[in-house]
Amino acid sequence: MARELLIKNDQAFLGRPIPQAVTAQEDYQDAMAWLSGGPKWRSLRKLCNTQIFTTQRLEGLQDFRRQMMEGMIMRVTEASEAGESINIGRLVFGTSLNLLSNNMFSVDIIDPKSNVIKELKELIGRIMVLAGKPNLTDCFPFLKPFDPQGIKRETKVSYDRLHSMIDMIIDKRLNRRASGLPGYGDFLDILLDNSQEHGSRELSRSDIKTLLTDLFLGGTDTSSTTVEWAMTELLKNPKMMQKLKQELAETIGQGQSMEEKYISKLPYLQAVLKETLRLHPAAPLLLPHQAQMDVEVCGYNIPKGTQVFVNSWAISRDPMYWPDRPTEFVPERFLVSNVEFRGTDLSYTPFGAGRRICPGLSLAVRMLSMSLGSLVHRFDWKLPNGMEPEDIDMDDKFGITLQKAIPLIAIPVAVS
């Protein structure tokens, strides 16, 4: 049925029902993630696909990503020398945040050592949890003015903080352009150039801010959560950790840095990431779809306006599609299959499928591969306080993304 919804009838299900929590965002109706198709959605998708996430542009920004990875390794090395433990999710979140901000704004948005990382991770994580939290107002619209659970009010605080940060960056860039200084050629310059060329009716400042918000929300929490789950599974399965370390050492060389040119030569690394996203999909229910017309799917008549959820989490654990130990972490299953990240096989849709597949998929795969590969290749890892692998907590916290309920803390030991 997922194939019928996401591929065969994807035009009919381009619509998005907007959760009440999301309406706390200014101009939420213009957010690419929540637009129900139409000219504006097509225009924003085209902009992402042809100018922002092109292979040529991503290749040109490799140096930025390499610098971010080197900075992350330096921070872990300092912790290793001091015998300190690392909050894996927070570490990768800070790296992802600065990596995205360099791609988008050509600046580090935060000091990697500051407490702002903790604040922003909690802020973005809170938005993801609240937006996916069951809300009475989504079932009983007459309650919307009262916000009985306080979800919209709480979400607005987080959105306002994020928007003020992005507004400040846009203001600085506009002032720089007004003074005649050369541009950076980054994502923000591309968006401002498009707005200047086609007019604000085509791409307004509000559209730019909302799109950048979408990219931040989609690219930071999901990346850090996925790497945190991957490290959790590897620490829980030491033989698999060792197998990955061996592949990295043989391909890259001991003491050498992970680079993007190695990604295609590391099948077990890709298998570990794929298996992590199978068991712990970044968006367990994807984003909800809404029928834009009456449509028949697999013999069911679905009226216009019906909300439809695709349970990616359940499909990824269904014995019908995954007969070999479907609830266990077995990366080897992906070494003998052709299943890819791109949602062509509807038993595996970590980034969605069809017209609404994640536009930043290519960047996400690079970021995940570089982050996990660097952490595993450059360091051995042990659990704190005498913990054993079987003691690791595997509970999750449900929201739009599937976060770990208890953050993963581990102690790095530099590989000589």
Arithmetic mean of pLDDT over the chain? 90
Q: Is the per-residue pLDDT at 198 higher than 90?
A: no
Q: Which residue has the tokens 């592949």?
A: 247
- In tens, the pLDDT along 313-370 reads 999 999 999 999 999 999 999 999 889 998 788 889 999 888 899 999 999 999 999 9
Sequence length of the chain is 416
- Classified as helix, coil or strand, 150 is coil
Q: Is the per-residue pLDDT at 115 higher than 70?
A: no
Q: Is the per-residue pLDDT at 63 higher than 70?
A: yes
Domains of the chain: which residue ranges? 2-408
Q: Which helix (H) or strand (E) holds 157?
A: helix 151-178
Helix 267-279 vs helix 221-236: crossing angle, to nearest 10? 100
Classify residue 210 by burial, with Cβ atoms within 10 Å: 0-12, 13-18, 19+.
buried
Name the least confident of 87-101, 115-129, 154-168, 177-191.
115-129
Q: Buried b vs exposed e over 143-182: b needs ≥16 C-beta within 10 Å? A: eeeebebebbebbbebbeebbebbeebbeebeeeeeeeee
Q: How far apart are CA 215 and CA 373, in angstroms?
A: 23
Write down the pLDDT at residue 105.
Answer: 81
**Of residues 77, 381, 342, 345, the one with CA closest to residue 227:** 381
Cβ atoms 298, 1 nearer than 8 A: yes
The string of DSSP codes covering 66-78 is HHHHHHHHHHHHH
Distance from first CA to last CA of the chain, Å, rounded? 51
Q: Write out the two tokens for 74.
A: 């330096």
pLDDT band per the 50, 70, 90 thresholds, residue 113: low
Domain 2-408 in this protein, CATH class:
mainly alpha
* Mean pLDDT computed over 5-18: 88
- In tens, the pLDDT along 217-269 reads 888 888 999 999 999 999 999 999 999 999 999 999 988 999 999 999 999 99
* Mean pLDDT computed over 83-91: 94
Write down the pLDDT at residue 122.
Answer: 82
**Of residues 212, 163, 165, the one with CA closest to residue 191:** 212
- In tens, the pLDDT along 286-305 reads 889 999 999 999 888 999 99
Q: Is the per-residue pLDDT at 114 higher than 80?
A: no
Q: Is the per-residue pLDDT at 371 higher than 90?
A: yes
